[in-house]
Each structure stands twice: as C-alpha cells, then as structure tokens.
Amino acid sequence: MRTLLVATTNLHKLDEYRAIFADLPFQLLSLNDIQLDLDVEETGTTFEENARLKALAYASASGLLTLADDSGLEIDALGGEPGVYSARFAGVDTPYPERFRLIFARMQGLALEQRSARFQCVIALAEPDGLLRIASGTIEGLITEAPRGVHGFGYDPIFLVPELGKTNAELAPEQKNQISHRAHAAQQARLLLAHWPQA
C-alpha cells in the first residue's frame, strides 16, 4: 500500500478524500500526520495553477506522492468572486457567517435566477520526480438569501443545489460526497490513481 499525502490540514477535507478513495490501495495522510510545516504561497490566478504549485512543492518537500487541490466558489453576480480567493475572502481569519453577510449585502435584491454560482475544484497529483496529473470538477447552483443546514463546511450553507432543493449543508455527507465539485474531481483522480505507476 502506497502513502498518498493530502496537502491539507483541514480534517473535513481529509475525511472526504478518505471516503472517496476508500477502496484504493493508498494510505492517506495529512500534512499534520507527517508534521510537514511548509506554507506554499498560492500565487496562481486560477485553481489549476494553485493546485499545481502546492502538489509539486509538497511532493518535493515530503518525498511522497501528493494530492493538492484548489477549490472555491464563483458567484456570477459578483464577477466570479470570491473565486481563487475563497479561503481568504474578507481576510483569512474572517468567520464564514461574516463572509456570508458580506455576500448577501452585495447581492441584496437579486432574484433567485440572478444568483447563479458554482463550486470549482481542481486536483493535482504529483510525484517527487515531477510527474503531474490534473483532475477537475464543477457543480452549478444558486446562492441562498440566508444560511441553511448544519453539515459540510465553508460556503456550503449558502450554496443551493436546485435539483435537490437543498444547500450543500443540508445534505448528508454521503450524499454531498456523490455530487460535490470535489467529488467530481476526486472521481477523475480515482481513475488516475487506479492506473498510477507503482513505485
């Protein structure tokens, strides 16, 4: 069984990947698990650029096959914001309820059909020798007028999946893991890992 480093300290994200890759012959470890204290600056202007930067840097530093992703929320009425700055929107330490309030204030008065948005996720898989593969996923939705639900994390409580009539945060984790942007990208990554060259 190979080790796959998931370049995150976010336990929610690690749990999602562990569930999606459960039947593959990889042991998933986080940055905390290997005590790698490296902060890779996300200088890219796209999700793919940032995912590539992180995967290659952490693979090189750890000597391990590494998965890094970059994902975020793009809101059409806000010109695609917060986009690649989703995790830093309104400041890194700003709590999500405050971020929601800022988004709602900027979208005040917009009808539901004007509140289109999508979650994007790009996954980069990198070997220490520089071998790199990319997977990506998207889910379309709408921004609610108030947070709903207790599951998930990040922007999940304000992202409505129209065909289900629920926000990501109202979906059971198993259900979200089947339809989310990360799930779509991870399913592509699963196929890549299933045929990955063995060490």
Q: Which residues are catalytic?
A: 70
163 labelled ligand-binding? no
The three-state (H, E, C) secondary structure of 56-69, written as one string: HHHHHHHCCEEEEE
How far is Cα 169 from Cα 175, in angstroms, rounded to an integer?
11
88 labelled ligand-binding? no
47 labelled ligand-binding? no
**Distance of alpha carbon 9 from its chain centroid, rounded?**
13
DSSP type of residue 135: E
155 labelled ligand-binding? yes
54 labelled ligand-binding? no
Task: Specify the 3-state DSSP secondary structure of 112.
Answer: helix
41 labelled ligand-binding? yes
104 labelled ligand-binding? no
Length of the chain: 199
181 labelled ligand-binding? yes
Name the binding residues. Answer: 8-13, 41, 70-71, 153-156, 176, 181-182
Name the binding residues for Mg(2+). Answer: 41, 70
